[in-house]
Amino acid sequence: PPGTPSPSGTPPPASATPEGPSTTPPGPRLIIPTPSGRPFTQAHAVRYAAEPWLVFACGRYEGIDSRVAEEARTRMPVDEVSLGDFVLAGGEVAVLVMIEAIGRLLPGVLGNADSVADDSFAPGAMESLLEGPVYTKPPVWRDRPVPEVLLSGHHGAIARWRRDEALRRTARHRPELLGRFAPEDLDRRDRDVLREAGFPVDGEGMAD
The full set of domain ranges for the chain reads 14-103, 113-196
Q: What is the pLDDT of residue 206?
A: 44
Query: Catalytic amino acids?
Result: 35, 62, 104, 119
pLDDT band at 19 (very low <50, low <70, confident <90, very high): low
Q: Are 56 and 12 in contact (CB under 8 A)?
A: no
Q: What is the pLDDT of residue 18?
A: 59
Which residue from 134, 135, 116 is spatially nearest to 126, judged by alpha carbons? 116
Those residues whose C-beta lies under 8 Å from the C-beta of residue 157, and which sit 6 or more positions away, are 149
DSSP string, 4-50: -SS--BPPPPGGGSPP--TTSSSPPEEEEEEEEEEEP-HHHHHHHHT
Q: Which H or E element spans position 145?
A: strand 144-145
Asked if residue 208 has pLDDT above 70, the reply is: no
Would the pTM count as exceeding 0.85? no
Q: Rounded to an integer, what distance in angstroms lies between the CA atom of residue 33 and that of residue 81?
A: 5
Q: Rounded to an integer, what distance in angstroms lies between the CA atom of residue 171 and that of residue 164?
A: 11
Which residue from 96, 84, 89 is spatially nearest to 31, judged by alpha carbons? 96
- Average pLDDT for 177-190: 91
Q: What is the pLDDT of residue 135?
A: 95
Give the architecture (CATH level 2) of 14-103. 3-Layer(aba) Sandwich (3.40)
- Domain boundaries 113-196, corresponding CATH code: 1.10.1270.20
Q: Rounded to an integer, what distance in angstroms lies between the CA atom of residue 138 and that of residue 50?
A: 37
The alpha carbons of the chain give a radius of gyration, in whole angstroms, of: 22
Same fold, 14-103 and 113-196: no
Asked if residue 56 has pLDDT above 50, the reply is: yes
Which residue from 96, 95, 105, 91 is spatially nearest to 45, judged by alpha carbons? 105
Higher per-residue pLDDT: 158 or 63: 158
Mean per-residue pLDDT of the chain: 86
Q: What is the pLDDT of residue 161?
A: 97
- The rounded percent of the chain whose pLDDT value lies above 90 is 67
Asked if residue 193 has pLDDT above 70, the reply is: yes
Which of 66-70, 110-114, 130-134, 200-204 is least confident?
Answer: 200-204
Q: Are 58 and 91 in contact (CB under 8 A)?
A: yes
Higher per-residue pLDDT: 171 or 183: 171
Q: Rounded to an integer, what distance in angstroms lies between the CA atom of residue 56 and that of residue 201?
A: 42
- Average pLDDT for 72-89: 95
Q: What is the pLDDT of residue 63?
A: 87
Distance from the first to the final alpha carbon of the chain:
53
**What is the CA 139 to chain-centroid distance, rounded?**
31
Angle between helices 92-103 and 42-49 (to 10 degrees): 70
Which residue from 39, 84, 30, 91 is spatially nearest to 64, judged by alpha carbons? 91
Q: Summarize pLDDT for 139-156 with one digit per residue, the tens.
A: 999 999 999 999 999 999
Q: What is the pLDDT of residue 52?
A: 94
Q: What is the pLDDT of residue 49?
A: 96
